[in-house]
Amino acid sequence: MGERVLELRVHGVSNTPPDQTLGLRAEPGGNGPQPALVAGGRVTGFYRSTAAGPDDPIAVEAYSWGQLTSGARTARDVERALWTLLLPFTLANVALHARPEIPPDPDRERWASRSGIAAWLIRLFCLSLTATLAITMTGVGVDLIAWQCVDQDCLRHLPGPWEFLGHGWWRADAHALAVGLLLPLAVLAGLGMVAWRTYQYEAEMPAPPRPRPARRPTEAALPADQPPPLANPLQDPTFWCGEGQLRRAAVLHLCTAAAVAASVPLAAVLVMDPPRGVRAAVAWPTVAALAAVVGTAVVAVGRPYLTRRRGDTPLGRWSTAVGVLVGLGLTGTFVLLMMPDGPAGRPLSEFRPPAGCARAPDTPGCLADRSLPGYDTTVAWLATYQVLLLIAIGTVTRSGRQALLAPVAGAALLPLGVGWTEGGLPGAPAAPDGLETWMLAVPAIAVAATGLLLPPARTDAEQQPLGPHTGLAWGGRGPALIAGAGWMMAIAYSAGLLHLVAGRLDGAGPERVRPPLAVYWAGLAFAVALLVLAGTGIRAGLLFQELRRREYATLTAPGTVHHSAHDLRRCRDVSAYRALHRLVGEHAVWLVGCCATVAVVLATLCCAAALSGSHPSPEPATGWQAVVHTVADVGDMMLGWLPAVIAGLGLLVYRNDTVRRSVGVVWDIGTFWPRAAHPLAPPSYAERAVPELQTRVAGLLALAEHDPRRMDGVILSGHSQGTVICAAMLLQLPARWRRRIWFFSYGCQLTRLYGRIFPAYFGPDRLRVLAGTLTWPDGCVAWTNFWRPTDPLGWQVTAGERDVPVTDPEALHPSGGEVADPPIRNHSGYPEAVEFHRERAVVARLLRRTVPSPRQGVG
């Protein structure tokens, strides 16, 4: 049997069907060759053409992984639409992987290092996002429904028989709050069940990870059967196996969220009715249990218990302790809420809105703000400290741990200033009259933000970029920007839900059920943010037109033979794609940074406004106040529909190719990374795709010499996102198999996208590691990268591999009897290019060379 080479193609985010990946063309009557499953199953599989023969010198195989993110119609579409609601968690999880200077070996990362502190801050931020979800659902169930919506006229707007909460025993004391608390707990329970099911990707790893030795000897002392020291975090054998870590982190997040949800009604009741006697015996142990849950979580997110991936490991003592504490805290909360009012305070009914406002709107107190005491303040302070936490993340990832002084000072000065204005500080003069909390928020956040302006930290090794526009994105502030995008989306979701529920409960009557004050300012900020996005889009359009004019001038420069109107039209079409290529590669990161700068200012002003504690006047506004009210109302209305719009977009992402290529790329980039920071994010498809691809390649190369399925070499051919999957797999593969592999990448995003945003994995030094692992003993780098100047998502790599430019289009006119113009393929159709076929023929001859088989155990 002759020597054979396999070209294994891995598609990108467009979920190209196997027949198109294999290059099969439909024949009249539909009798042409079809893709046949040769390995795998319904969700992920390896396909070959039915026309392929066992003696073909080059066999072509397609790996289809798109079902992991798209799947079947209807059921999968609805599931994915629901997953989009967890996009804030996804972005927060991605921020962890955007840290610079992550050590190649996770065992060498220390908590006090730059990357270690950044990891703890990001995980702490992820925990606060889960608390935001809990507080939002608590606001709906406890504040809006069980506290403000107290009569039957209001409760009948809810689906279901909830009118019983408006009269009798349920309306007395805090009994209705206990019922309202069931809503956030039910949502958390449902989220936990869904998240538990999604660990199937992590649990279905085809091969267990190789055990990591307790300590790593020097390279000279390495035995023959031990892998060399890690040079890239993607080489960690447990990188794609984190089932145990996920389960432990999920328990911690859900228990913390439950404790936060219970603390909202508990704190309100304790403030309104200070406990004594039996109530005190129940209240204070409950407070201690809930505080212990939150304190344990803050400490645990920085411990190896949650930061090390060890495969399928048990939950451990931390999870058990937190579970027991939250159980005791919830039990004590429900017992306290079901007890009658104590003798120490006023009856709780005096703090609630009066009943009958729908029938008699003029009743005193109907138009007054009677939201749950302390809830508005809790929401405002949580959002403010999340902004300070984001600033701290950006500060430490850019300038190191020494730069934390600015955000820590801002976070410490704000509560001191509030204490000074409200009650005075010992030894300090009295605060000036008229000084309020919101006036101190802007200076405090501004002090913290000065840390973002410090010079970047010097690295141990100078990293030269891999060409122009491949330097570190956003000056090292990438984790804060990505996490901040998740925070803004979470705030938008929360504000929209609270506004939508409050509007539904109000019906057509007067405003008696009011969302928190932060919702009003969030709507105003959202409207302004849309204007900023529109301005950024206009700026991008102007840049595109300028780049297009330059490219057109180059194509039609003196000396070129373009005379006819047809030639000029084709030049205009080509110049549009080339301009888009330059716009994305050279200006997209800068445009996103401009939006982020404006977002920081908006977030600061919104936090200060929310801390003001005073609602806008319900009276009809005039002048500029009317304009502000109108803009805020429109923004709140759009926020109410935002979750539905995002979910609808997720529903269409795999049904419409245009939406898929423009929006789906963001989704697939986010869900590529394993859930190492937020366990409730959507599952990572790479947890299954990378090990499966590794198992397939190693299995074919390890077959016996006379096995008809055996391959002498493999051309690993990755397109777009498939390039990233292939790179991650190659770094996991033992060296003895890499010596029989050649890597083809096209539509490659490893430099100007992944390399800039995720420098610890695809930065200049880490991409050179990948090129080094593909270097043969004779010095040949087994990696070819194809790129087009018309591809908006594919660029050169220049990490030591061979970059091959692909002509696109092949010509301006039809030729060879064809009547249609050659297509402009931009991001697709690379395997059909002449340059691709020429390179594949050369590489196949190199892989067929008879070389001594590497000794078993090497690498």
Residue with more model confidence, 187 or 78 = 187
Residue type, 161: P
Q: What is the edge-to-edge ordering of all strands in the sheet holding 45-49? A: 35-40, 45-49, 58-64, 5-10, 713-719, 741-746, 783-787, 802-805
Residue 510 DSSP SS3: coil
d(CA 640, CA 494): 9
pLDDT surpasses 60 at 124: yes
| Mean per-residue pLDDT, 93-114 | 90
Range from 31-45, 192-206, 551-565, 688-702 carrying the lowest mean pLDDT: 192-206
pLDDT in tens, 698-734: 999 988 888 888 888 999 999 999 999 999 999 999 8
Q: How confident is the model at residue 245 (pLDDT cuts 50, 70, 90)?
A: confident
Residue 58 DSSP SS3: strand
The tokens 């960690």 sit on which residue? 236
| Mean per-residue pLDDT, 199-215 | 51
Query: Could you tell me the end-to-end alpha-carbon distance of the chain, in angstroms, rounded to an integer?
Result: 29
Residue with more model confidence, 859 or 782 = 782
- For residue 652, count other CB atoms closer than 10 A to its CB: 16
pLDDT surpasses 80 at 677: yes
Q: Give the pLDDT of residue 781.
A: 94
Q: Give the pLDDT of residue 654.
A: 57
Range from 87-96, 341-350, 701-710, 841-850 carrying the lowest mean pLDDT: 341-350
Rounded percentage of the chain residues whose pLDDT exceeds 70: 84
pLDDT surpasses 90 at 123: yes
Q: Give the pLDDT of residue 852.
A: 41
Q: How confident is the model at residue 361 (pLDDT cuts 50, 70, 90)?
A: low
Q: Of the segments 182-191, 200-209, 241-250, 808-817, which one has the largest average pLDDT value? A: 182-191
pLDDT surpasses 50 at 807: yes
Q: Give the pLDDT of residue 158.
A: 81
Structure tokens at 273: 């009715």
| Mean per-residue pLDDT, 647-676 | 71
Q: Give the pLDDT of residue 313.
A: 63
Q: How confident is the model at residue 149 (pLDDT cuts 50, 70, 90)?
A: confident
Q: Give the pLDDT of residue 655.
A: 60
pLDDT surpasses 80 at 365: no
Structure tokens at 367: 């138009």
The tokens 């397939």 sit on which residue? 696
Q: Rounded to whole angstroms, what are the CA distances from 472 to 116, 381, 654, 671, 800? A: 19, 33, 32, 22, 19
| Mean per-residue pLDDT, 826-834 | 94
Residue with more model confidence, 323 or 81 = 323
Q: How confident is the model at residue 242 (pLDDT cuts 50, 70, 90)?
A: confident
Residue with more model confidence, 212 or 665 = 665
Q: How confident is the model at residue 858 (pLDDT cuts 50, 70, 90)?
A: very low
pLDDT in tens, 725-756: 999 999 999 888 898 999 999 999 999 999 99
Q: Give the pLDDT of residue 657.
A: 59
Q: Give the pLDDT of residue 30.
A: 62
Q: How confident is the model at residue 457 (pLDDT cuts 50, 70, 90)?
A: confident
Q: Give the pLDDT of residue 54.
A: 81
pLDDT surpasses 60 at 373: yes
Q: How confident is the model at residue 53 (pLDDT cuts 50, 70, 90)?
A: confident
Task: Quote the pTM value.
Answer: 0.91
d(CA 73, CA 86): 21
Q: Give the pLDDT of residue 323.
A: 92
**Quick check: 339 and 232 in contact, CB under 8 A?**
no
Range from 215-219, 224-228, 639-643 carrying the lowest mean pLDDT: 215-219
DSSP 7: E
pLDDT in tens, 559-609: 777 668 888 899 999 999 999 999 999 999 999 999 999 999 999 999 999
- Pairing of the two strands 45-49 and 35-40: antiparallel
Q: Give the pLDDT of residue 627.
A: 78
pLDDT in tens, 384-439: 999 999 999 999 999 998 999 999 999 999 998 888 888 777 877 888 877 887 78
pLDDT surpasses 90 at 295: yes
Q: How confident is the model at residue 770 (pLDDT cuts 50, 70, 90)?
A: very high
Residue with more model confidence, 275 or 345 = 275
Q: How confident is the model at residue 224 (pLDDT cuts 50, 70, 90)?
A: very low
Q: Give the pLDDT of residue 213.
A: 46
Compute and round to an integer the Cα radius of gyration of the chain: 30
User: H helices of 653-789, where?
Assistant: 657-670, 686-701, 721-732, 735-738, 754-757, 759-762, 764-773
pLDDT in tens, 458-472: 765 456 788 888 889
What angle separates helix 114-138 from helix 87-97, to the nearest 10 degrees?
Answer: 170
Range from 155-159, 669-673, 752-756 carrying the lowest mean pLDDT: 155-159
Q: Give the pLDDT of residue 76.
A: 53
| Mean per-residue pLDDT, 480-495 | 94
| Mean per-residue pLDDT, 50-63 | 89
Range from 66-80, 303-317, 831-845 carrying the lowest mean pLDDT: 66-80
Residue with more model confidence, 307 or 279 = 279
Q: Give the pLDDT of residue 360.
A: 63
DSSP 578: H
**Percentages (nearest 5) of helix, strand, coil residues in the chain:** 55, 5, 40
